[in-house]
Amino acid sequence: VTSLTLTGIGQLVTNASGDPGDLGVIHEAAVAVVDGRIAWVGPEARLPKEHREVELLDCEGRAVLPGFVDAHTHLVFAGDRSEEFARRLRGESYEEILAAGGGIHATVAATRMASTTELADGAVARLGRMLASGTTTAEVKSGYGLTTADELRILEAAEEAGRRSPVDVVPTFLGAHVPDKGVDRAEYVDLVIDEMLPACAPLAQWCDVFCDRGAFTVDDARRILTAAKDHGLGARLHAEQLTHTGAAALAADIGAASADHLDHATEDDAALLRGSGVVAVLLPAASFSMRSPQAPGRMLWDSGVKVAVATDCNPGTSNVESMPFVIAVACLEMGLTPEEAVWAATRGGALALRLEDRGMLVPGALADLVILDAPSYTHLPYRPGSNLVWKVVKGGEVVA
């Protein structure tokens, strides 16, 4: 039995009630961990004797939160698109660059050139920086291969990265990111369904489709996600990011776990998402990095949709690894409150991935915790850009 007890917690976020935005804060708290799981949570004055006689970590008044659950990343890739980024800052558009064969296609070319080990090395480095920012679980999508062999290599690299990093990796097959260069869209959809899905499904838990102008249609996405279900993969969707296509309605109709981005979502979309339990995964750092208007996070939250926030970490639209930064942008640019943004980055992310054992600090949950070098979670949006993470505990061990 390995045990660790955190004492001296000035402010503890538990998310115990499960109600969105209710952080279940306990002051002057302690958390006891036994064998990687939370064994006891409460005011330190009531800490049972058995949990006092183990290794103690005195948090000296700091704030403690559940580890961040980053429910949307594309972090297996090679190459660098800083030149394209600079061109966009000079006025070119993302869609023009993509249509001209750049953008995602530039990353696909670099990714195909890299060995699987090189891809895994890059992913491990990114996961290490994410862990240092408090992320303890990350969803990771494929999508920069666009051939069966390369999509498979990316999922293998994601699996290897998960083994080499303390961060838990949740793999998603995104073969339907964009049609491969020179391949007709309808033909590419057939390739995804007939060849890629059967080959890739054993290495993934989820299937995602980029449903947008310049990528795939709602009909394509429905076909692909229906086929994915037959291979045991749950559905998620890049929806209403660049344009409004009806992808959010599709997500609701097929019972997807999440609809992501939602920059152009409407009130009708919100009603459908709420009614079907689809989690809205909002990516404020992507809109920020694209200099485009934020998703209507306030409207979605107020409509009763369950909301998560994530980095969208990728080389094109959001080269962001830090969930504290995402929380800051969610508050300052999207209009969420600190309580909503922190909940969305922890419990919301776990719900989006349908993970019932994390995103909250209650007995039985995984002992994944972030200790801030600050007295309150409000410092996350209050001090954007500062590294506020003091220590990270993953599965009961201090890992960063």
Residues in contact with ligand NIG by CB under 6 A are: 74, 103-104, 107, 210, 238, 241, 286, 312, 314-317
Q: Which does 210 bind (CB under 5 to 8 A by kind): Fe ion, ligand NIG, none?
A: ligand NIG
Strand partners, 38: 33
Query: Please, what is the minimum distance in Å from the beta carbon of residue 72 to ligand NIG?
Result: 7
Strand partners, 210: 238
Q: Which does 316 bind (CB under 5 to 8 A by kind): Fe ion, ligand NIG, none?
A: ligand NIG
Query: Please, what is the minimum distance in Å from the beta carbon of residue 104 to ligand NIG?
Result: 4
Q: Which does 104 bind (CB under 5 to 8 A by kind): ligand NIG, Fe ion, none?
A: ligand NIG
Query: Measured between alpha carbons, how far is 366 from 357 in angstroms, rounded to an integer?
Result: 6
Expressed in angstroms, the distance from the first to the final Cα of the chain is 22
Query: Please, what is the minimum distance in Å from the beta carbon of residue 210 to Fe ion?
Result: 7
Q: Does 368 bind Fe ion (CB under 5 A)?
A: no
Task: Tell me the window of 7-15, 168-176, 308-316, 368-376 that interacts with Fe ion (CB under 5 A).
Answer: 308-316
Instruction: Name, in order, each residue with C-beta under 8 angstroms of 100's C-beta and a sequence gap of 6 or more.
Output: none
Number of residue whose CB is nearest ligand NIG = 316
Query: Please, what is the minimum distance in Å from the beta carbon of residue 310 to ligand NIG?
Result: 10
Beta strands in the chain (DSSP E): 3-12, 26-34, 37-43, 55-58, 63-66, 68-70, 135-141, 168-176, 206-210, 234-239, 258-261, 279-282, 307-309, 369-372, 389-394, 397-398
Give the binding-site size for Fe ion (rule: CB under 5 A).
1
Nearest to 97 by CA among 242, 284, 240, 295: 242
Q: Which is nearer to ligand NIG, 36 or 79 (CB)?
A: 79
Q: Which does 160 bind (CB under 5 to 8 A by kind): Fe ion, ligand NIG, none?
A: none
Q: Which of 84, 151, 240, 312 binds Fe ion (CB under 5 A)?
A: 312
Q: Which is nearer to ligand NIG, 243 or 386 (CB)?
A: 243
| DSSP letters spanning 208-222 | EEEBSTTSB-HHHHH
Q: Which is nearer to Fe ion, 180 or 312 (CB)?
A: 312
Number of residue whose CB is nearest Fe ion = 312
Convert 238-297 into a string of H (helix), E (strand) and C (coil): EECCCCCCCHHHHHHHHCCCEEEECCCCCHHHHHHHHHHCCEEEECHHHHHHHCCCCCCH
Query: Please, what is the minimum distance in Å from the beta carbon of residue 31 to ligand NIG?
Result: 35
Q: Which does 317 bind (CB under 5 to 8 A by kind): Fe ion, ligand NIG, none?
A: ligand NIG
Query: Measured between alpha carbons, how far is 174 from 228 in angstroms, rounded to an integer?
Result: 11
In this structure, are strands 234-239 and 37-43 parallel, antiparallel, or unpaired? Answer: unpaired
Q: Which does 148 bind (CB under 5 to 8 A by kind): ligand NIG, Fe ion, none?
A: none
Query: Please, what is the minimum distance in Å from the beta carbon of residue 371 to Fe ion?
Result: 29
Q: Which does 111 bind (CB under 5 to 8 A by kind): ligand NIG, Fe ion, none?
A: none
Q: Which residue has tokens 């489709």?
A: 209
Structure tokens at 180: 């491969």
Query: Please, what is the minimum distance in Å from the beta carbon of residue 29 to Fe ion?
Result: 36
Binding footprint of Fe ion on the chain (CB under 5 A): 312
